Amino acid sequence: MNDEGPDAAVRRAIGGDEASVAEILAAADESADALTIAMAALLDGDAARLARADLAAVTSRERQVVAIARAHLAGDRELVDALARDHLVSFPDSLIVSWIASR
């Protein structure tokens, strides 16, 4: 990731910046950050990446994001809505979850 960190790359990727998408996908293979790995899984539709994100997740926030990403990739819209609503009550600044919920 560049000097701005993963949050800035996520914001740009959500906005459709192809360079940021490529940056996140490349960084995810070496990253120990659960949110970066989960975001990469969402961007490339690779649910297998979420196994690594599960291992990297150490906080409840990270574990929730991984669970929401998994539900999204599985196409379980009702579960995504329920989990995202609950997550955003506790973490209203969660860009990844807001993005997933809006899709």
The whole-number pLDDT of residue 5 equals: 64
| Dihedral of alpha carbons 20, 21, 26, 29, sign | positive
SS3 assignment, position 46: coil
pTM score of the predicted model: 0.90
- Say which residue the tokens 């360079």 belong to: 19
Q: Give residue limits of the domains in the chain.
A: 6-102
- b or e along 36-72 (b: 16 or more beta carbons within 10 Å of the residue's beta carbon)? bbbbbbbbeeeeebbebbbebbeeebbebbbbbbbbb
The whole-number pLDDT of residue 79 equals: 98
Per-residue pLDDT of the chain (103 residues; tens, 9 = 90+): 545 666 788 899 999 999 999 999 999 999 999 999 999 999 999 999 999 999 999 999 999 999 999 999 999 999 999 999 999 999 999 999 999 999 8
